[in-house]
């Protein structure tokens, strides 16, 4: 946080009751952490873990990631990984499919040329009876 210039005094931190799965424990304790950084207008709400202290740490880390993305324009590792997966799952265009199939066909032709020559020799004319 100090590297990015985020001061602890600028943060507004609240502890609120969580929601979602977890049952009575989640409904009774204020383990969800809400962070707000007014100078940049970033809001973070973190409720990943059951303990407040871990959620405070995770919320600050998430704040730093969003700060880097918003102010410095750098994408976080998590976003880069997400975009990489999205690119991998994206459907290929028709031209790309044709090109890939053409390259596969050329490779298979090369492999055929590498095979050893097998000749079948008929021994029928040399049979002795």
Structural domain boundaries in the chain: 8-83
pTM above 0.85?
no
Q: Does CATH number 3.30.160.20 belong to domain 8-83?
A: yes
Report the percent of the chain where pLDDT is more than 90.
Answer: 27
Per-residue confidence (pLDDT) for residue 58, from 0 to 100 = 93
Q: 54 CB contacts (<8 Å, ≥6 apart)?
A: 48
Q: Which residues of the chain have pLDDT under 70?
A: 74, 119-129
Per-residue confidence (pLDDT) for residue 8, from 0 to 100 = 83
Q: What is the pLDDT of residues 19-39, one digit of tens each?
A: 777 777 777 888 899 999 988
Per-residue confidence (pLDDT) for residue 108, from 0 to 100 = 93
Per-residue confidence (pLDDT) for residue 89, from 0 to 100 = 86
Per-residue confidence (pLDDT) for residue 109, from 0 to 100 = 92
């Amino acid at each position: 946080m100090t590297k990015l210039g985020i001061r602890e005094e600028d943060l507004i931190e609240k502890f609120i009751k969580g929601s979602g799965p977890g049952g009575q424990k989640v409904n009774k304790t204020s383990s969800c952490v809400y962070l707000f950084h007014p100078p940049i207008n970033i809001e973070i709400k973190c409720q990943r873990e059951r303990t407040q202290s871990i959620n405070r740490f995770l919320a600050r880390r998430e704040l730093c990631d969003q700060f880097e993305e918003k102010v410095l324009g750098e994408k976080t590792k998590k976003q880069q990984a997400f975009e990489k997966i999205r690119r991998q799952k994206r459907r290929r265009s028709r031209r790309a499919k044709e090109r890939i199939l053409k390259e596969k066909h050329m490779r298979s032709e090369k492999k055929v040329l590498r095979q050893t020559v097998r000749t079948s020799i008929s021994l029928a004319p040399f049979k002795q009876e």
